[in-house]
Amino acid sequence: MDSKIPLCEPNRVWNPEFECLPEEATRALQLKRLVNTVSRLIENVPFYRNRLKNASVTPDSIRSLDDLRRIPFTTKDDLREHYPYGLLATPMEKVVRIHASSGTTGKPTVVPYSRKDLDTWSELVARLLMAGGVTEKDIVQIAFGYGLFTGGFGLHYGAEKLGAAVIPISSGNSERQIQIMKDFGATALVCTPSYALHLGEILREMGVESKDLSLRFGLFGGEPWTENMRVQIQKSLGILATDNYGLSEVMGPGVAGECLEQNGLHIFEDHFITEIIHPETCEPVPFGVEGELVITTITKEAMPVLRYRTRDITRLMPEPCPCGRTFPRMVKVMGRTDDMLIIRGVNVYPSQVEEALLEVEGIEPHYQIILRKRGALDEMEVRVELEEALFTDQMKEMHFFERKVVSHLQKRLNLTPKIVFVEPKSIERTAGKSKRVFDYRNENGSGK
């Protein structure tokens, strides 16, 4: 650990009564809440009533958590088909907030919340904030977008519930972010990891040093990121960075959060049941093996989901965590099943490319993957920004470095990419989720 990182209070737990619950008690609670959710859905939502009837699932027939596997999966398409309110399990008068997914992969999906849902959400976000080091003494700068996206409001109410002071700055205007951060003495930053990296660069450009800030913790989520990115963010902002996970379809941020061990995200199992399945066979994978995360909400009122296929790839960690929380941990999400690229028959996640790139010294964590067809074959081009210090006016050295990057990626990915160096800062920075992959293989012509 970087010695510049300030010492923090001993790891506090927001709600030890639940977060440190013994496993059997958690299972009993989950079963009770699952049965309750299933009966409410049968009663109130025609879609689930039919699905469960066809699968011969009744509340009485659920006797153990293994019976969960008799319930059919719910997919994003199911949510889209019932756009906007078809899966609502309460009358609209009980709904107090409506969010929606970003719609990056199609029509948005709508997520209504009851008052109780908002309370639960704030509680879970308070847990993840405290797990990431935040207490009532902190000043939390929320640089997630406020709006239909769940990030801004989700973290906002959780931080208030915790008792921290919130700066609801929302995303964008990076210079102003830094100025406010400095002037207001923000101690914790909440945003996407790619935006945190970007803020680190702006900080350097503005000539502000991380020691001029009061920042101690960063809580990042909303997109997959790598350990190398964590190292870079921690260094550039002088903070401890933790990961948190959630998705709007099941609630938003607050499904799982990393503690200061920085080694896996605790899943808040008193509110969600998680499974890991093989994305193609849909069978459960052995414990600890990577696969697609499936989530059942067991306390949601307005729009519960049963066995929702998140398309996120992760695995569970078997070891108990030294922090004292008993909830099992999942590793950082490695990618999405629909992000998976099949290049010349090799399965590749963009996050693997990123991880491999960052292992080469001098490569900046800003890159793009461009896929084209050359004849019948796939061609992968990786555009990376060249750090200024690596530029030389001698072509042979530039080529030497290029070959070094190619051979490293070759080793790690079993693919030979073409590396193209681009000018520093030329790859677009975004406040939200960044687009890394440009796949022109199904288009006529070779793309740009």
Partner 1 sequence: MKLRQISVFVENRTGRVAEVATLLRDGNINIRAVTLADTHDFGIVRLIVNNVDEALKILRDNKFTALDTEVVALEIPDAPGSLCRVLDLLGKENVNVEYLYGFVERSGEKAILIFRFEDADHAVKVIQANGLRILSGEELYKL
- Going by C-alpha positions, the residue among 80, 132, 85, 121 that lies closest to residue 103 is 80
Contacts with partner 1 by CB under 8 A: the residue count is 17
Nearer to partner 1, 221 or 365 (CB): 365
d(C-alpha 306, C-alpha 204), whole Å: 46
Near partner 1 by CB under 8 A: residue from 23, 423, 430, 443: 423
Nearer to partner 1, 189 or 370 (CB): 370
Near partner 1 by CB under 8 A: residue from 182, 404, 425, 429: 425
- Least distance to partner 1 from the beta carbon of 425, Å? 6
- Going by C-alpha positions, the residue among 193, 237, 232 that lies closest to residue 363 is 232
CA distance to 190, 195, 201, per residue, from 208 (Å): 19, 17, 10
Nearer to partner 1, 20 or 420 (CB): 420
CB-CB contact of 362 with 377 (8 Å)? no
- Least distance to partner 1 from the beta carbon of 197, Å? 18
Helix (H, G, I), strand (E, B) or coil at 274: strand
Nearer to partner 1, 338 or 388 (CB): 388
- Least distance to partner 1 from the beta carbon of 216, Å? 32
- Least distance to partner 1 from the beta carbon of 212, Å? 23
Phi first, then psi: give them for residue 201, nearest 5 degrees. Answer: -70, -40
Phi first, then psi: give them for residue 10, nearest 5 degrees. Answer: -55, 145
- Least distance to partner 1 from the beta carbon of 398, Å? 8
Nearer to partner 1, 120 or 368 (CB): 368
- Least distance to partner 1 from the beta carbon of 421, Å? 6
- Going by C-alpha positions, the residue among 419, 312, 441 that lies closest to residue 367 is 419
Nearer to partner 1, 178 or 382 (CB): 382
CA distance to 262, 311, 312, per residue, from 1 (Å): 11, 32, 29
Q: Is 402 exposed, middle or buried (0-12, 13-18, 19+ CB in 10 A)?
A: middle
Nearer to partner 1, 392 or 414 (CB): 392
Peptide bond into 91 cis (omega under 30): no
- Least distance to partner 1 from the beta carbon of 399, Å? 8
Nearer to partner 1, 32 or 399 (CB): 399
Token code pair at residue 110: 């709508």
d(C-alpha 71, C-alpha 34), whole Å: 11
d(C-alpha 56, C-alpha 132), whole Å: 43
Chain positions 83 to 112 lying near partner 1, rule: CB under 8 A, are none
Chain positions 366 to 405 lying near partner 1, rule: CB under 8 A, are 386, 388, 391-396, 398-399
Contacts with partner 1, 331-370, as mask; x by CB under 8 A: ----------------------------------------
Near partner 1 by CB under 8 A: residue from 422, 427, 433, 438: 422
Opening angle at CA 135, ends 22 and 115, nearest 5? 70
Contacts with partner 1, 191-230, as mask; x by CB under 8 A: ----------------------------------------
SS3 of 203-242: HHHCCCCHHHCCCCEEEECCCCCCHHHHHHHHHHHCCEEE
Nearer to partner 1, 338 or 361 (CB): 361
As a whole number of Å, the CA-based R_g of the chain is 23
Chain positions 119 to 158 lying near partner 1, rule: CB under 8 A, are none
Q: Which helix (H) or strand (E) holds 42?
A: helix 23-44
Near partner 1 by CB under 8 A: residue from 172, 420, 435, 443: 420
- Least distance to partner 1 from the beta carbon of 439, Å? 20
426 binds partner 1 (CB under 8 A): yes
- Least distance to partner 1 from the beta carbon of 428, Å? 14
d(C-alpha 245, C-alpha 254), whole Å: 6
Nearer to partner 1, 202 or 422 (CB): 422
First-to-final CA distance of the chain:
42
- Least distance to partner 1 from the beta carbon of 177, Å? 20
Nearer to partner 1, 47 or 391 (CB): 391
CB-CB contact of 126 with 162 (8 Å)? yes
- Least distance to partner 1 from the beta carbon of 415, Å? 19
Opening angle at CA 324, ends 323 and 329, nearest 5? 75
Contact residues for partner 1, defined by CB under 8 A: 386, 388, 391-396, 398-399, 420-426
